[in-house]
Amino acid sequence: MRSIWTDVEQWKADALADGWVQGERKEQYIKERFYATINLRPETDMLKAYCNVSIWGPDDLHIPVSYPYSWGKLQESLTICTICGKVGETVRLAFCNRVCPECRAKNLDEYERPGWCD
């Protein structure tokens, strides 16, 4: 059974081989205005091991990570609602959620309550 650590290491290696370049911070990577933060922190005496990949599209909205790495899947994710899975136009909901206009209308009150971004 593969571990998430192995998946993240492989995702990073595949992304770099596909043309992603390191950004200003060592854990930040960029390709065609897509941004990925790849954390691979080994366990120390003070900290537990931690690893993850977070991705944002050119529109600054979050993109769910899929393993193994696939540039095509990342591009397709720009048009997939993260609530209902519908393919088409996506818009922002709250901080960085990518949703279809219908899901935004249905969930706006739950996600964007008064003071949600203060």
Residue 3: C-alpha distances to residues 12, 36, 100 (Å): 14, 20, 33
At 118, list the tokens. Answer: 């203060």
Q: How many domains does the chain have?
A: 1
Q: Is residue 45 part of a domain?
A: yes
For residue 117, is it within any domain? no
Does some domain include residue 81? yes
Output the average pLDDT for the chain.
91
pLDDT given at position 1 = 45
CB atoms within 10 A of CB 15: 22
- Residue 16 neighbours by CB distance under 10 Å: 15
- Determine, yes or no, domain membership for 118: no
66 belongs to a structural domain: yes
Q: What local confidence, expressed as pLDDT, does residue 6 receive?
A: 92
* Digit-coded pLDDT (tens) for 19-48: 999 998 889 999 999 999 999 988 888 889
Domain of 86?
4-111
